[in-house]
Every structure is written in C-alpha cells, then in structure tokens.
Amino acid sequence: MTNEVLQKIASDEQNISSSNGLEAKAPLLRFRKFTHPWRQEKLSDFTSRIMRKNSNNETELPLTISSKDGLVDQVTFFNKKVSSKDMSGYYLLKNGEFAYNKSYSNGYDFGSIKRLERYEMGALSTLYICFSLKKHCSDYIKHYFDSLKWYRQIYIISAEGARNHGLLNVPTDDFFATIHFLSPDIEEQKKIADFLSLIDQRIEKQRQLVENLKKYKRGLFFEIFEQKRRFKDGNNKFYPKWEKKSLGTIFKERTERAIGNEELLSVTINSGVKKRCEVDVKDNSSDDKSKYKKLYPNDIAYNTMRMWQGASGVSLYEGIVSPAYTVITTIIPVKIGFFGYYFKYIKTIQIFQKFSQGLTSDTWNLKYPQLSEIQLLIPNIEEQEKIYETFKFLDDKILLSENTLNLLQDIKKGLLQKMFI
C-alpha cells in the first residue's frame, strides 16, 4: 500500500518543477504548467471574521481544537464536557468555517488553525478567533494552514513570552493583518489541494488499519486470557487446563544492587522496559545510584506504585532501575514473554490493584511479598509459547503499520513545506 502512494508521489513529482524561490514569490515545488508568481495577501483580504453567537442555542455541541485531530467535540477529546452549561455566548461555527486556537501544544508553538469538517455546526469559546473564506479554494487554504508557513507572521505580532491563561497574546486586528503568499490561480490551488488530499486519504486508511489491529489485539487478550480461545499441540489436541499457581512459585525477587556505570533503564506503561535515554521525560535519577537495582535480560521490572496501572515489562537489556521498582526473575522454566503480556491484561491488573497496599491511589504499592501471594491461572509452557508468539506476531504487525503511518505523515509534512511559501 505504501508503494502505491510513493509511486503516486513520484509520478506527480515528475510534473512538479523546482523554483529558485526568489523573493519568496514561488514555492520550491509546484506543478510544471504553473509559472506565475504567488501574490501577497492580508488574511483580511480573503477571510471574514465570524462573531456570530450561539444566542438561540442552535447547537449543543461544544467544540475544541486539537492540533492533531482538528475541530472535535469536547466529550471525544477530553472524555468530558468542559464548556459552560450555557453556551449562548459562544461562537456558532458552521461546517467549512475556520478557527484559530492560540494555545501552545507539542509541535505547535504558535497554535493551530483548523476547519470544521466533522459536524454541521458547533459552539466554540470566544477565546478562539473564527473566520470564513471570501475567496480561494477551501481545501487549498486548509492545507496551507496545516503547513504552518503562517507561523512567521504570528511570531512577529505576538508579544514574546506573553501568555494569558496559556494563550499567545495575539491581537485580533493584527492577526487579520498578517501577510500570506498564495497562488492567485484557482486551478493551481485545486491541483495542490487534490494532490495533498490524496495523501490525507492514504494516511487516514493507514490510521484506521493501526486502530483496527489494536482493537483486534484487545479482543484477543480477552479471548485468550479468559480461555475462550485455546491452542492445540502437535497431535491436534488442546493443551491441558490452566492451573492456579502462586506467583511466588514462579518468581523470586532480585535484590542485587548497582555496581557502577550500568545502563540506566526505566519502566513505562505503554512500552515496558526502555533505556532511560530513549524515554522523553526529565531525568530525575539520583547521582548516587548505589541503591539502584540490577536488571538482566528476561527479568521483569515493575513500578511498585504503578503496577495497578500496568507499569511493568520484560527487560531486553542489562542495566539498573530506580529503587522505586521491583525486579523479579524466574525460578522455574517458563516463557517469560507470556507473563509480559499476562501482566498487562486488565483483569490481572485489577488483581494487582486488589493486593496493593495503601490508603489512596497515590500511595498504593505492590511489593514482592504481596505479589508472591497472588494466584493466577497458568497454562503449561508449550501453550505459553504459543500465546507469546501470537501476541508478538501481532505486535510486530502493529509496529510495522505504525512505522508506515509515520512515514506517510513525514512525507506529507515535507510536501507541505515545499509546496507552500
């Protein structure tokens, strides 16, 4: 599927010519038949500000802007409604109209401008700047705002470091006076928009593929760990029934301490054990690591105070972890990868929560003595291997699909930077 898109890009790029971009009058990449310079326009030249209020409560749908997902309803984005009960003072935004969110988010230092696409209308806080188009191809303008080329103008007009409730200090009049270089040819606008929309369609298909794979994995977790789906041996017979065993008969605690200069490791909820240098959070580790715990390949490390949230993983590395973690290693032959998945199953996590000690969720902790008392239904080692292989194959497929999605998104970003000024 990726090759189809890359081939399409390659074939279209044969029809795109390079430009020297003198005086920023033409983009670096454009379709060959178009040679005229792009025009400088104020935002107010091609847009009209929207101040229409939801005074008659025409809509009860509260909107917010996600830099990643665009204009979405608050319940979907926040999993709750954060707007006022009375939204009659909010702006009424209709399908095809635009809104500017002045708040910072990761990768969007000067906010984002998005077009309402998912709904016929919605209510938006007056903290946003809303507008409609007076001219130009709407899809073209949508892609232009996705390119973030307009950031340089916002940088000029925004007061450096000045933020009000997390919002950039961007005066509305100055916002509509910002300068933008756009193609004056509606045919070229449509050509660019159609091309980039094709990439968007492919990205969305890939995103759906990733989501469907993850959904299938969640369903498979339930079927396998509830023993609704069983595996057969080489004689086409089901493996023996799972046996209830205490985790203390399978694992012991590793208490070996750091020696010095070992690789610092961390445990994450989503990715398990990772090298600390690969985790994008502030390093709060102590300079004195004498109390840090040794971790070896095929050990399991878990966050003692977050085991009930799924913060555990099988280590692929030799290194050390914070004293806040517990390290366990096997004392009988098992397929360790099976337990890596089993410890992530929601009902297993609920058992971990039940055995955790502490008065509130902020103080819950599951130390090894409590973990060792937990009894779980365990398949024999051959079925453990089958289960591990099943989930590992699925995880590899998800990872490959996510890498393809990231590649497509990077291609789109590169094209946006070259096809707009």
CATH code at position 225: 1.10.287.1120
Q: Which of 295, 294, 269, 296 is nearest to 281 (CA)?
A: 269
* pLDDT above 50 (res 8): no
- Whether residue 230 contacts residue 239, with contact meaning beta carbons closer than 8 Å, is answered with yes
Calpha distance 409→387 (Å, rounded) = 33
Residues 247, 371: one domain? yes
* pLDDT above 90 (res 289): no
Q: Which domain holds residue 226?
A: 1-34+185-234+380-421
Residues 357, 249: one domain? yes
Give tens-digit pLDDT for 378-398: 999 999 999 999 999 999 999
Q: What percent of the chain has pLDDT over 70?
A: 90
The pLDDT assigned to 366 comes to 97
The pLDDT assigned to 12 comes to 42
- pLDDT higher for 288 or 308? 308
Give tens-digit pLDDT for 207-248: 999 999 999 999 999 999 999 999 999 999 999 999 999 999
The pLDDT assigned to 246 comes to 98
- What's the pTM? 0.83
Residues 250, 332: one domain? yes
The pLDDT assigned to 106 comes to 81
Residues 353, 371: one domain? yes
Residues 135, 169: one domain? yes
Residues 74, 54: one domain? yes
Under DSSP, is residue 292 helix (H, G, I), strand (E, B) or coil? coil
The pLDDT assigned to 282 comes to 67
Under DSSP, is residue 245 helix (H, G, I), strand (E, B) or coil? strand
Residue 368 binned pLDDT confidence (cut-offs 50, 70, 90): very high
CATH number at residue 300: 3.90.220.20
- Local structure of residue 304 (DSSP, 8 states): T
* pLDDT above 70 (res 163): no
* pLDDT above 50 (res 77): yes
Residues 6+ apart with CB under 8 A from 45: 134
The per-residue pLDDT of the chain, averaged, comes to 90
Give tens-digit pLDDT for 254-265: 999 998 788 999
Residues 213, 136: one domain? no
Residues 314, 417: one domain? no
Residues 6+ apart with CB under 8 A from 111: 67, 100, 101, 102, 103, 104, 105, 154, 168, 170
Residue 86 binned pLDDT confidence (cut-offs 50, 70, 90): confident
Calpha distance 335→314 (Å, rounded) = 11
Residues 80, 163: one domain? yes
Q: Which of 308, 296, 297 is nearest to 371 (CA)?
A: 308
Residues 43, 177: one domain? yes
Residue 21 — φ and ψ, nearest 5°?
Answer: 60, 30
Calpha distance 266→275 (Å, rounded) = 6
Domain count, the chain: 3
Residues 79, 51: one domain? yes
The pLDDT assigned to 215 comes to 97
Q: What percent of the chain has pLDDT over 90?
A: 78
Residues 401, 346: one domain? no
